Amino acid sequence: MNISPRDKNSAVTILAAKKILTNFDCGQTKDFRWRHGAYNQLVSICDPQPNKSTMLSPFSLLLTLSFLFFLNPSLLFCHAQAPKISFLGNTPDAQIQRTMTALQDTFHIVRVAALTFCSAEPVFLRYFQPNEATFVRNIFRQLANIPLDQVITSENVVDLITSPPYAGLNQKLEYSWILLDQDPYQKCVDPGYNAYMHYDNPQLDALIILCDHGFRWPSIEEIANPPQTAWARDSQGHPLPGYSCDNLGTFDSDWMKTMGAVILHEYLHWGFYFTNVPGWHLKIAPDPAQGGKRDIEDYAGQLGPPAVGSGPYNAKLINDNYGNTGQPFAPTLNNVENYVWFAVSKYWSWRCGRDFAAAPSGDAASKREASGFRPFWP
């Protein structure tokens, strides 16, 4: 078969995709060299450039995003329903562009977690119990636009990657909105908030409000290939701690955290999106204060330490302390950060070609503040 220059990148990504399957069912290989080639193909060819001259009102512009969905963005996600961004007329272009990049990163992380899922890996057992594997896998498949019953093999992975989106999957994404420079519930005044989600309206539309503090976190590519800036490299041009695979340390920490992971955290709160996942109503606790609505929440010390479920150490501690205690609604499955840190650690293991250990303490896992955050923008 002749391959035109235009198709060569797609051919490369398909070959890389097949290699993913060597890892899918836990037949793990330590030859990670192909992974860098696969990631290099994650280049969006359908990102719109925001044009403020098309603003529909003096207050906000709704920008429908088409953004990449792992190995073949033009066929997988550019044609699917997508979230929308709402921003003010004076919102900096750099802030808008960084938000678009973060959305791409969110689905890079999700796609890798879904396609390389392995319940026997230490990274999965760090944050979940073995009997929770199918449910967790399906949560990531739902978000990654992969049919829940799809058997992924080297024979069908090409069709899976290159076919149009499956009917009925991820149509709910069009009901999600990313809000910039808007804080309708006045939570962003708290510096502890990177973002928050609100969706108690009758239509269950999801509003993800990005706070300025959420922009402190770098992108995937800024970590993996640090730019020539004072916040990422020293005066000799060497990557600073927390930038480049070699400088991410040996265990899970917030050096791995990206703005895309912040957005992933918020999407995982959107229970309406996951209601068709088998077992949802049996495994996710209802909230009586919200009329029995079921969402994956943030652990807040209900059963005892830790006091909060955020960060890789606390998420692991929830699994260690309560993962096998027979709770009616497993704390591991009901804490968003357990999903986030499984996916984030899984992603960087895939990207960097090495495994990361469990965080030894909460202080050890909180590295970015000491080493320095990224400037908000540009």
What is the per-residue pLDDT across 350-372, written as a single tens digit (0 to 9) for each?
999 999 999 999 999 999 999 99
pLDDT in the model for residue 203 = 62
* Contacts (Cβ under 8 Å, ≥6 apart) of 108: 42, 68, 70, 220, 260, 347
In whole angstroms, give the CA distance from residue 254 to residue 205.
30
Q: What is the mean pLDDT of residues 150-172?
A: 59
Token pair, residue 328, equals 């009616």
What single-letter amino acid sits at 228? Answer: Q
pLDDT in the model for residue 61 = 31
In whole angstroms, give the CA distance from residue 137 to residue 329.
17
Does residue 100 surpass a pLDDT of 80?
yes
Does residue 327 surpass a pLDDT of 80?
yes
In percent, the amount of the chain with pLDDT more than 70 equals 72
- Is 359 in contact with 316 (CB distance < 8 Å)? yes
Residue 242: left if φ>0, alpha if ψ -120 to 50, beta else—which one? left
- Is 257 in contact with 217 (CB distance < 8 Å)? yes
SS3 48: coil
pLDDT in the model for residue 76 = 30
Looking at per-residue pLDDT, the higher value among 325 and 78 belongs to 325
Does residue 74 surpass a pLDDT of 70?
no
Does residue 33 surpass a pLDDT of 80?
no
pLDDT in the model for residue 270 = 94
pLDDT band at 89, cuts 50/70/90? confident
Judged on CB neighbours under 10 Å (0-12, 13-18, 19+), 65 is buried
Token pair, residue 66, equals 């088409």
pLDDT band at 178, cuts 50/70/90? very high
In percent, the amount of the chain with pLDDT more than 90 equals 57
pLDDT band at 200, cuts 50/70/90? low
Q: How many CB atoms lie within 10 A of CB 280?
A: 18
In a domain, 340, yes or no: yes
In Å, how far are 37, 114, 117, 195, 336 from 152, measured between CA atoms? 21, 10, 11, 34, 26
pLDDT band at 199, cuts 50/70/90? confident
pLDDT band at 171, cuts 50/70/90? confident
Does residue 198 surpass a pLDDT of 80?
yes
In whole angstroms, give the CA distance from residue 278 to residue 352.
33
* Contacts (Cβ under 8 Å, ≥6 apart) of 36: 351, 353
Q: What is the mean pLDDT of residues 162-185?
A: 73
- Is 352 in contact with 118 (CB distance < 8 Å)? no
* Mean pLDDT of all residues belonging to the chain: 79
In Å, how far are 227, 258, 260, 299 from 110, measured between CA atoms? 24, 13, 10, 22
pLDDT in the model for residue 158 = 52
In a domain, 376, yes or no: no
Token pair, residue 6, equals 């235009």
Residue 365's CATH number: 3.40.390.10
pLDDT in the model for residue 111 = 84
Over residues 260-303, the pLDDT tens digits come to 999 999 999 999 899 999 999 999 999 988 888 899 999 999 99
In Å, how far are 70, 130, 335, 355 from 121, measured between CA atoms? 22, 10, 20, 10
pLDDT in the model for residue 348 = 98
Does residue 44 surpass a pLDDT of 70?
no
SS3 175: helix
pLDDT in the model for residue 201 = 64
In a domain, 339, yes or no: yes
pLDDT band at 138, cuts 50/70/90? very high
pLDDT in the model for residue 356 = 98
Packed helices 5-24 and 33-40: angle between N→C axes, nearest 10 degrees? 140
Token pair, residue 38, equals 């696969």
> Domain range spanning residue 207?
8-371
Cα angle value 89/93/95 (rounded, 5°): 100
Token pair, residue 67, equals 């953004």
Chain CA centroid to CA 178, Å: 15
pLDDT band at 157, cuts 50/70/90? low
Strand 286-287 to strand 206-210: parallel, antiparallel, or no bridges (unpaired)? Answer: unpaired
In whole angstroms, give the CA distance from residue 353 to residue 245.
9
Does residue 217 surpass a pLDDT of 50?
yes
Nearest to 20 by CA among 258, 309, 326, 346: 346
Give the count of domains, the chain: 1
In a domain, 377, yes or no: no
Q: What is the mean pLDDT of residues 101-124?
A: 91
User: H-helix or E-strand containing 207?
Assistant: strand 206-210
In a domain, 2, yes or no: no
CA dihedral 143, 129, 358, 364 (to 10 degrees): 80
